Amino acid sequence: MRQPIERHLPYRLPCLYTILRQESSERARAEMVTAVKRGLLQSAPWQRSMPSQFFYDDEGSALYERITQTDDYYLTRCEAEIFAERADDILDIAAGIRRTDVDAAAPSAASPSDVVSLIDLGAGDGRKTLVLLQRAVQRGLRVCYVPVDISEKAMVSCAERVMPAMEKALMREKRPLGAAPSFMFRGLVGDFFECLEYLFDEDTAAERRVNGMRVDAWDRAVDGTADDRLRHRIMVTFIGSSIGNLDIASSIQFCRRMRTLLRHGVDHCLIGFDLRKSHHLMQRAYSDREGITAEFNRNLLRRMNRELGADFDADRFEHYAQFSVERGVMESYLVATQPMRVTFRHLEAEEGSNERATRAPSTARAPAVLELRAWEAIHTENSAKYTIEQIEQMARSAGFEGAIAHLSDSRHWFVDSIFEA
């Protein structure tokens, strides 16, 4: 890992982010080339695929934002409702306050704390988490918000949304903005687990103190002595049903790795899960009537045109989404409506590849070529849908004590489950 770079942003509350690793255009292109070779060029017909991570260039991210605002895409509204209606339940568990109601049982025997860190994996612009942060300061909690994202641009956007809102919230509560503030923003730019390991590593904690990351006395609870840290509680959030893009084995591995970094009986994680429901509702969410999801998927083809010199005719692909009852997964595809021969001008054909490209007479290799049959599909995304029993089994398999709370929207379509370390 390269030397971390710190950037301070000019707000009245402490606001900085640390760059551990940033997504670069070169790295993203190299990963796309690998995915194209494996998933398209070297795959057998009718087994073509591209990972959903490549949906999210600037145009794709803008299209996704439009998807979340459609009538058919219920997931964002459901989770926003949970955060609005159950913020106190979430914050009680984060702070270690005992609960007696049936769906938010007493989380641990450790003493409660008024110092809480919320580590927000894949924070984006922080829109949903802001509800929790505002409620936390209303309740008198001292909060260190740690958004984590691979994109520095997203981190700056998150600060631009969160910081003015939190300054206003603290002023309403007549809480200090200068000395001894009740809120601080400590973003991390990098890979999820790279960032988590950096946060929890004792050596880098000492390094962060030396580099001036300690802002005031109460901040010793964030990266101070062992006794300080026991009085400071951490909740890691992974919201938006992002975990649904992983298969079951990978999601358990993800949770198990996160569990190894959290302190037993003290820390928690909150994960958003989309629940199984009528397949008509789920299918519309992934194939909305406005056609925005279809354009979102076709943008994957246009991105390959822009970045790899491909010549996909995106308008000749249909977007298709279906729910696999057996696997419990929404599956998305781009289906070629006629035979196609797609040339990747910026990729060379490889010896023995399946794309049936011919070698040029010179020593240079011909461009890579993909041949698709009529109605052949390219698989673009899986989104797992869960039952409560599956969620609880995942928690146990990953080494957590269990899922101690399942906080659902009013229609029970979505759940934010909290695991105790």
- Best CA proximity match to 166, nearest among 187, 149, 147, 143: 143
Does any domain span residue 294? yes
Do 348 and 205 lie in one domain? The reply is: no
pLDDT band at 367 (very low <50, low <70, confident <90, very high): very high
Q: Which residue has the higher pLDDT, 417 or 26?
A: 417
Report helix, strand or coil for 145: strand
Is residue 127 located within the same domain as residue 216?
A: yes
Q: What is the mean pLDDT of residues 64-91?
A: 95
Task: Pick the closest to residue 385 from 321, 337, 340 (CA basis).
Answer: 321
Coil, strand or helix at 163: helix
Do 96 and 176 lie in one domain? The reply is yes
Per-residue pLDDT, 204: 52
Report the CATH number at residue 407.
3.40.50.150
CA atoms within 13 A of residue 399's CA, in its CB half-sphere? 12
pLDDT at 214 over 60: no
In this structure, the answer to whether residues 391 and 339 fall within a common structural domain is: no
Tokens of 161: 């949304």
Backbone phi and psi for residue 39, each to the nearest 5 degrees, phi listed first? -90, -25
Residues 263 and 321 in one domain: no
Q: Do the domain assignments include residue 289?
A: yes
Does 196 share its domain with 236?
Answer: yes
pLDDT tens for each residue of 11-59: 999 999 999 977 677 888 899 999 999 999 999 999 999 999 899 888 9
Higher pLDDT, 38 or 179: 38
As a 3-state breakdown, the chain gives helix, strand, coil percent values, each rounded to 5, of 40, 25, 35
Q: Where are the beta strands (DSSP E) in 134-231?
A: 142-149, 183-189
Q: Could you tell me if 295 and 414 lie in one domain?
A: no
Which residues form the domain of 49?
Answer: 26-68+279-383
Please count the structural domains in the chain: 2
Average pLDDT, the chain: 86
The letter for the amino acid at 137 is: V
* Average pLDDT estimate for 210-216: 38
State residue 226's pLDDT score: 43
- The answer on 326 and 184 residing in a single domain is no
| pLDDT, greater one: 182 or 223 | 182
Check whether residue 187 and residue 114 sit in a common domain.
yes
The reply to whether 258 falls in a domain is yes
pLDDT at residue 115, as a whole number:
87
Strands 183-189 and 48-49: unpaired
- Measured between alpha carbons, how far is 373 from 352 in angstroms, rounded to an integer? 20
Residues 196, 126 share a domain: yes
Q: Is residue 17 part of a domain?
A: no
Check whether 216 has a pLDDT greater than 60.
Answer: no
Percent of the chain at pLDDT > 70 equals: 84
pLDDT bin (cut points 50, 70, 90) of residue 125 is confident
